Amino acid sequence: MAAMTPTAPDVTPESGTRPAARSTAPVRTRRRPRVWRGLVLGLGGAYFLVPLVASFVFTVHTPGQGVSFEAYTALLSADGFTESLLLSLGLAAATIALSLLLAVPALVAVRLGAPRLRPVVEVMCMLPLVVPPIALVTGISTVLRWGPDHLSRTPLYQTFLAVQNEDFPFVLVLAYTVMALPFVYRSLDAGLRAVDVPTLVEAARNCGASWPYVMLRVILPNLRSSLAGAAFLTLALVLGEFTTASILGFRPFAVWIVSISGAQARMSVAVSLLSLLITWALLLVLSRAGTAPTGTPGAPRTSRKES
């Protein structure tokens, strides 16, 4: 039954062949797969669970001293924990806002009236995949060095200083937005593919809706799950990002974890574990928020559940 559901929409014409074939196939092919399937899933499960369980044991159990949860309780008062976490969350919020603000109008626009721009936008969004973060950051640090070298007497120099502000390094938001664009693009593109944007927009406009109204009340609600997906991926990216921040000399969450690992190994592992659990919880919440019925008309919802 479970196997019928996903293929059901596609196979209606041939569905007559299924029951006949089913009665013979299971007898011949079912026996052996069960053994290797169990083996593969068992080994895979062990490989993915052991590090998590062992990390937890490592944080609470000191050989010879017994069990203590000090690594977790001391966390909140640890030097730099709150600051770096808040910095990372702030950067994540700014990155999500910026990338969605840039990508949503552009993607809707290429579907509405500028199909010739579509390959341009696609290439622009996917190109960052070709450039590893470390290569991007070498470029960024070169550009930032132009500031003191060449521009120190121009008004542009103030901008250079402003984006490198220790309290909120906006240059990181720029870099993270570039890195997030491919994921945001893919998520939004998949969402838009399931929606007939021109028809929706035309219908809404014919009913007298203004452009902001069309975007906020017609397009965006239809994209809820892909917006949530894009936001989640961006959040995960920013919270775990180490390369760019450490090379440019800022201290968000991931850099902080590394910096305490020498003195407080237990705490760094505890934080790593917590960050995984937080990511997991966020994914669950967001996937629920993206698909849960909240009162809007839900005709296209079933088609979006897969993505």
Partner 1 sequence: MSSATPTEGTAGGTSRRRRGPRTWLAALPLIAFTALAFGLPLGALLFGAVTRTDPATGATALTGEHLSRSLQGPYLGSLVGSVQLSALTALIGSVLGVLIAQAVVTSRSQALRSAVLTASGVLANFGGVPLAFAFIATVGISGVVTQLADLTSLGWNLYSFGGLAVVYLYFLIPLMVLVIMPALDGLRPQWREAAQNAGAGGRQYWRHVGIPVLAPSLLGGFVLLFGSAFAAHATAAALVGGSVPLVTLKIADALSGNVMVGQENVALALGLDMILIAGLVMAIYLPLQRRSARWLR
Per CB under 8 A, contacts with partner 1 among 17-36 are 17-18, 21, 24-25, 29, 33, 36
Q: Which stretch, 72-80, 86-94, 142-150, 288-296, contacts partner 1 (CB under 8 A)?
A: 142-150
Among 74, 109, 151, 194, binds partner 1 (CB under 8 A): 109
User: Is 283 a binder of partner 1 (CB under 8 A)?
Assistant: yes
- Residue 292 half-sphere exposure toward CB, CA atoms < 13 A: 8
**Contact letters for partner 1, residues 220-239 (x by CB under 8 A):** -------------x--xx--
- Tell me: does residue 240 bind partner 1 (CB under 8 A): yes
Residue where the block lists tokens 């203590």: 68
Contact region for partner 1 (CB under 8 A) — 72-80, 171-179, 186-194, 292-300? 171-179
CB of 96 to partner 1, least distance (A): 15
Structure tokens at 32: 């052996």
Query: To the nearest whole angstrom, how small is the minimum distance from the Cβ of residue 300 to partner 1?
Result: 18
Cα torsion 163, 171, 106, 96: sign:
negative
The only residue of 9, 12, 48, 153 in contact with partner 1, by rule CB under 8 A: 48
Q: CA angle at residue 223 from 218 to 226, to 5 degrees?
A: 170
Distance CA 31, CA 26 (A): 8
- For residue 76, the minimal CB distance to partner 1 (Å) is 18
Name the segment binding partner 1 (CB under 8 A); options: 54-62, 76-84, 85-93, 151-159.
54-62
| Residue 93 binds partner 1, judged by CB under 8 A | no
**Binding range to partner 1, per CB under 8 A, among 81-89, 187-195, 271-279, 296-304:** 271-279
In sequence order, which residues have a C-beta less than 8 Å from that of residue 247 and are 6 or more positions away?
134, 137, 138, 141
